[in-house]
């Protein structure tokens, strides 16, 4: 793991432990086992580091969503795999979920950062647009997909990680079908 990744992982760990606003760069450096000056060799400021962590999570998620989807010809099965991968990413990386939720609800998040994050979701955005054009997904603004797919996945993962719900295969399937009913032109029950 390179230095930059160690700093990013240390930041994720510390935000999980202490919250976004309670981690000075000295703590990040100590956790990553570097001097504080090392942070400034890779990032202009703590804010730049926090933004980079958010963007890395978005990029990693965009890649993880499509793992195992090559060769799936049935569109319904592919959508299901993408949805489950999306949820599983956050279930498998609870610290990243907590970071993501804190960052997106912080004062660091603004329209510029939001657009930068959307750019890191290129594969997912292209996939949604392709399915809209094919007529599999409803023709609605991409912001609606954010509301009907992304936000529920975040909340389901958060509830499972926080122990509010025991997420078994049946519940995952119910959640997926609920999402599918909203985004698909076809009637699935």
What CATH number did the domain enclosing 17 receive?
A: 1.10.10.60
Is 28 in the same domain as 113? no
Q: How far apart are CA 85 and CA 63, in angstroms?
A: 10
Instruction: Kindly report, residue by residue over 78-100, the tens digit of the pLDDT.
Output: 999 999 999 999 999 999 999 99
Instruction: Kindly report, residue by residue over 15-37, the tens digit of the pLDDT.
Output: 999 999 899 999 999 999 999 99
The contacts of residue 22 (CB under 8 Å, 6+ apart) are none
The contacts of residue 110 (CB under 8 Å, 6+ apart) are none
Q: How far apart are CA 57 and CA 104, in angstroms?
A: 12
Q: How far apart are CA 132 and CA 127, in angstroms?
A: 9
Long-range CB contacts (< 8 A, 24+ apart) of 136-140? 136/75, 136/79, 136/184, 136/185, 136/186, 137/183, 137/184, 137/185, 138/182, 138/183, 138/184, 138/185
Is 12 in the same domain as 94? no
Higher pLDDT, 176 or 120: 176
Is 68 in the same domain as 87? yes
Domain extent at residue 19: 1-43
Spell out where 13-63 has E strands: none
Domain count, the chain: 2
């Amino acid at each position: 793991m390179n230095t930059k990744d160690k700093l990013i992982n240390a930041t994720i760990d510390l935000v999980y432990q202490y919250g976004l606003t309670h981690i000075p760069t000295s703590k990040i450096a100590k956790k990553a086992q570097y001097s504080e000056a090392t942070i400034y060799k890779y990032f202009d400021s703590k804010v730049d580091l926090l933004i980079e962590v958010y963007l890395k999570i978005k990029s990693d998620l965009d890649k993880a969503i499509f793992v195992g989807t090559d060769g799936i010809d049935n569109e319904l099965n592919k959508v299901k795999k993408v949805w489950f991968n999306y949820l599983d990413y956050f279930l498998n990386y609870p610290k990243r979920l907590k970071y993501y939720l804190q960052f997106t609800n912080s004062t660091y998040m603004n329209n510029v950062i939001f657009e930068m994050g959307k750019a890191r979701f290129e594969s997912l955005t292209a996939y949604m647009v392709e399915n809209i054009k094919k007529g599999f997904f409803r023709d609605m603004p991409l912001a609606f997909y954010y509301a009907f797919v992304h936000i529920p996945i975040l909340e389901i993962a958060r509830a499972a990680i926080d122990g509010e719900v025991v997420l078994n295969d049946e519940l995952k399937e119910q959640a997926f079908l609920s999402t599918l009913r909203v985004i698909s032109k076809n009637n699935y029950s």
